[in-house]
Amino acid sequence: MPIRRILHSNLFLLLASILVTLLVLEAVLNWIGPTSLQVRRNENSFRSFVWNPENTRFDSELGYMTRPNLDVPFENWEYKTRVRTNSWGFRDDEESLHDPKILLLGDSYCFGWGVEDDKTVDKFVERETGEKVLNMGAPGFGTIQQFLLLQRYCGTENATGCTVVFLYYINDRIENFIPPGGGVPTLRKEDRRLLFTPASEEAYNAAMRV
C-alpha cells in the first residue's frame, strides 16, 4: 500500500475519532451541565421573587402569600415580565375576585411564571370558555396550601357554585412532604388522624435571609 494512502487512512481515522469524542462529550455536557445549570437558575429565580420580602409576606396558615396590589418587574436571564396582583395577592385583576365561575389553583405554572399577565392560563381559559376565571396560583405552593387557600377564599367571599380546577404538577406532591416546623404548613397521618402543623415564621424569616 502506498505511503500516501496509509497516511490518508490514518488521518481519516484520527479525524473520525476526534469527531466521535467531541460528539460524546457534547452529549454528556448537554445531559449534565445544562440540567444542573438550569436547576440553579430556576432556584435563583424562585428566590429572587418568592424569598423577597417586597413580593411576599409571612402567613401563619399558608406559610407565605404573594403581597397584594403588586406591580413589579420580574426579570432574569430568560425573560422580562411584570407581575401585578389584586387585593388578595392573586395574579389577576380586581374584577375577577367578584363572582368568578372558575377557580384555578396551582403553583408557578398556574401563577404564570415567566409570562406576561395576558399570557397566563386563566386568560386562555377565559377566552376559550367565555367565563370569568380567577387565577389563585402561587409560586411554590403544594396541594395542602392550595386547598387551605381555597377554603379561605370561598369562606371569606361566600363563593359557591364555582368550578374548581387544580393544576397539578409532580413537584406539588414533593412539596407536601416538607418536614413539620418549616416555612410551609404540613399534614401528617398519625393513628388514623391527620395532624396539621402550621408554618413557622422563624423558618420563613430564615429563608428570607439566605
58-99 tens-digit pLDDT: 998 999 999 999 999 988 777 899 999 999 999 999 999 999
Q: Quote the pLDDT of residue 36.
A: 55
More confident residue, 12 or 64: 64
pLDDT at 151: 95
Task: Indicate whether 124 pLDDT > 80.
Answer: yes
- The helix (run of H) or strand (run of E) holding residue 196 is strand 193-197
Alpha helices by DSSP H, 92-187: 108-111, 121-129, 143-157, 170-175
Least confident among 16-30, 33-47, 78-92, 173-187: 33-47
One-letter amino acid at 38 equals Q
Residue (of 200, 109, 181, 196) closest to 148 by Cα position: 196
Taking CA atoms, 60 is separated from 105, 148, 156, 183, in Å, by: 19, 11, 17, 9
Cβ neighbours for 97, distance < 8 A, ≥ 6 positions apart: 86, 87, 88, 90, 134, 157
Kindly give, in sequence order, each residue whose CB lies less than 8 Å from that of residue 55, ignoring residues fewer than 6 positions away.
49, 66, 67, 70, 72, 83
Band (pLDDT 50/70/90 cuts) for residue 190 is confident
Percentage of the chain with pLDDT > 90?
Answer: 46
- Checking if the pLDDT of 37 tops 80, the result is no
Question: Using an 8 Å Cβ cutoff, are 130 and 159 in contact?
Answer: no
- DSSP label at 13? H
Residue-level pLDDT at 49:
85
